[in-house]
């Protein structure tokens, strides 16, 4: 949940980009972020403000690992968590509108090595969480980066 809140704070702040150019506004934004981090117990976040498609400000706050006191840096990668579902659904729907895929396409069209048990699962099933696919195996390390082949081997 903290990652979700940090993500929403970051997204909100992208819309105040024009204010970031003003020193007084920048200080106010900085104070606001620090206050919200304390209030919502957010251990760390990375702020990026874009202006006219270019990075106007990048600032890190807090820790990416509280236990080891590892500070957030501009190159720190955060797990997106559950919010990735909304971004994925939006990207898929853009592809649908462009005619590049259909919600009723079988996923085996895109995953040639998909197991037989997936043969009737469609893109629509994945987006509506009605595919019948199970949860991650209990021994899967969700904090680790997997290649596509490694990931498919785990979930098959």
Active site positions, annotated: 82
Distances (CA, A) of 90 to 85, 95, 122, 123: 9, 9, 17, 13
Nearest to 47 by CA among 37, 61, 27, 35: 61
Residue located via tokens 């606001």:
32
Q: What is the dihedral of CA 116, 119, 122, 127, to 10 degrees?
A: -10
Backbone angles phi, psi at 72, to 5 degrees: -70, 135
């Amino acid at each position: 949940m903290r990652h979700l809140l940090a993500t929403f704070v970051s997204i909100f702040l992208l819309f105040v980009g024009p204010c970031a150019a003003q020193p007084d506004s920048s200080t106010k934004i900085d104070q606001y972020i620090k206050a919200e981090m304390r209030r919502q117990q957010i251990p760390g976040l990375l702020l990026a403000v874009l202006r006219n498609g270019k990075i106007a400000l990048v600032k890190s706050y807090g820790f990416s690992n509280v236990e080891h006191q590892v500070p957030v840096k501009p190159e720190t990668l955060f797990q997106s968590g559950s919010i990735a579902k909304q971004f994925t659904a939006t990207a898929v729907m853009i592809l649908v509108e462009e005619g590049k895929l259909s919600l009723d396409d079988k996923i085996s069209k895109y995953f040639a090595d998909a197991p037989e048990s997936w043969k009737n699962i469609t893109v629509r099933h994945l987006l509506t969480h009605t595919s019948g696919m199970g949860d991650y195996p209990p021994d899967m390390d969700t904090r680790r980066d997997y290649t596509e082949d490694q990931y498919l081997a785990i979930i098959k």
